[in-house]
């Protein structure tokens, strides 16, 4: 009985998350919404925070890292418009939840995490969900990760004061790059799309404020 009650509570909380947080944040793509029900977010958060899995907040993962809020993960996924044949680069594996969403939509994902312990935990979660089309790697990708380029989709799960040009160079024609650029309290989510010939277009999507990637490149500072 307890397990049934727990399952019903989780489904109700998931439904409320979608209807009260995610739809109002202009996430209306039905494929994305369906995926949020199919990939169980609560199984990707640390056990002690499972009851907060659907709350509009960043969840601590340890090692001074945090899981993005649900509405931001969903909006990122929608804006990237991942296709079934896409090769994906994710910078910052974290809990592995966004990794799972991306991989479910695309052909293969490469996800780089600077903290080995977080990468190992994410690997276990992805395996438990039978998600095998992901290569997890440990390293510092704050300035780019050209090892498996070219990519169709690149997403940074932490902010950067300055976006490295290496990411744009690692995109295929028609590739999409989503990054949160700026410094607290003013940051902007940007979507960069590339066309044949290397021409790219950048648009600002929305303002937000999220933790920075470790070792992210810094702007030049004037010293007086």
Percent of the chain with pLDDT over 70: 96
Note whether residue 223 is domain-resident. no
Question: What is the secondary structure of the chain as a DSSP string?
Answer: -HHHHHHHHHHHHHHHHIIIIIGGGT---HHHHHHHHHS-GGGGS-GGGGGGTTSSSPEEEETTEEEPPHHHHHHHHHHHT--TT-EEEEE--TTSHHHHHHHHHSSEEEEEES-HHHHHHHHHHHHHTT--SEEEEES--TT--GGG--EEEEEESSBBSS--HHHHHTEEEEEEEEEEEEETTEEEEEEEEE-GGG-EEEEEEEEE--PBPTT---------
Residues 150, 168: Cα–Cα separation, whole Å: 10
Note whether residue 100 is domain-resident. yes
Checking if the pLDDT of 160 tops 90, the result is yes
Checking if the pLDDT of 1 tops 50, the result is no
Residues 181, 33: Cα–Cα separation, whole Å: 26
- Which pair of tokens denotes residue 73? 């993960």
Look at residue 222 in the predicted model and tell me its pLDDT.
59
State yes or no: cis peptide before 150, omega within 30 of 0.
yes
Q: Which residues contact 10 (CB under 8 A, 6 or more apart)?
A: 40, 42
User: Taking the model in full, what pTM does it have?
Assistant: 0.94
Torsion sign, CA atoms 210, 68, 141, 176:
negative
Q: Give the mean model confidence (pLDDT) for residues 209-224.
A: 84
Look at residue 212 in the predicted model and tell me its pLDDT.
95
Note whether residue 220 is domain-resident. no
Note whether residue 221 is domain-resident. no
Note whether residue 137 is domain-resident. yes
Look at residue 223 in the predicted model and tell me its pLDDT.
59
CATH code, domain carrying 79: 3.40.50.150
Checking if the pLDDT of 6 tops 90, the result is no
Note whether residue 18 is domain-resident. yes
Look at residue 180 in the predicted model and tell me its pLDDT.
98
Model confidence pLDDT, tens digit, residues 84-129: 999 999 999 999 999 999 999 999 999 999 999 999 999 999 999 9
Look at residue 4 in the predicted model and tell me its pLDDT.
60
Model confidence pLDDT, tens digit, residues 19-54: 999 999 999 999 999 999 999 999 999 999 999 999
Distance of CA 185 to the CA centre of its chain: 20
Note whether residue 165 is domain-resident. yes
- In the chain, the number of structural domains is 1
Confidence of residue 3 (pLDDT cuts 50, 70, 90): low
**94 lies in which domain range?**
2-208
Checking if the pLDDT of 18 tops 50, the result is yes
What is the rounded average pLDDT for all residues in the chain?
94
Q: Which residues pair with 183 in a beta bridge?
A: 186
Residues 195, 28: Cα–Cα separation, whole Å: 26
Of the CA atoms within 13 Å of residue 90, those in its CB half-sphere come to 31
Checking if the pLDDT of 198 tops 90, the result is no
């Amino acid at each position: 009985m307890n397990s049934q009650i727990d399952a019903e509570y989780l489904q109700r909380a998931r439904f409320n998350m979608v209807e009260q947080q995610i739809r109002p944040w202009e996430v209306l793509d039905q494929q994305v919404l369906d995926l949020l029900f199919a990939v169980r977010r609560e199984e990707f958060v640390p056990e002690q925070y499972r009851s907060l899995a659907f709350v509009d907040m960043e969840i601590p993962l340890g090692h001074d890292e945090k899981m993005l809020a649900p509405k931001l993960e969903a909006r990122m996924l929608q804006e990237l418009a991942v296709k079934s044949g896409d090769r994906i680069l994710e910078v910052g594996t974290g809990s592995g939840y966004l990794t799972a969403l991306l991989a479910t939509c695309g052909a293969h994902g490469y996800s780089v995490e600077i903290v080995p312990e977080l990468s190992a935990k994410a690997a276990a979660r992805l395996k438990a969900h039978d998600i095998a089309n992901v290569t997890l790697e440990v390293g510092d990708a704050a300035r780019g990760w050209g090892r498996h380029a070219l990519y169709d989709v690149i997403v940074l799960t932490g902010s950067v004061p300055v976006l490295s040009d290496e990411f744009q160079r690692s995109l295929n024609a028609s590739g999409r790059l989503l990054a949160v650029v700026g410094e607290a309290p003013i940051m902007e989510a940007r979507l960069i799309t590339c066309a044949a010939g290397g021409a790219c277009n950048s648009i600002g999507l929305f303002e937000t404020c999220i933790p920075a990637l470790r070792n992210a490149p810094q702007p030049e500072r004037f010293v007086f």
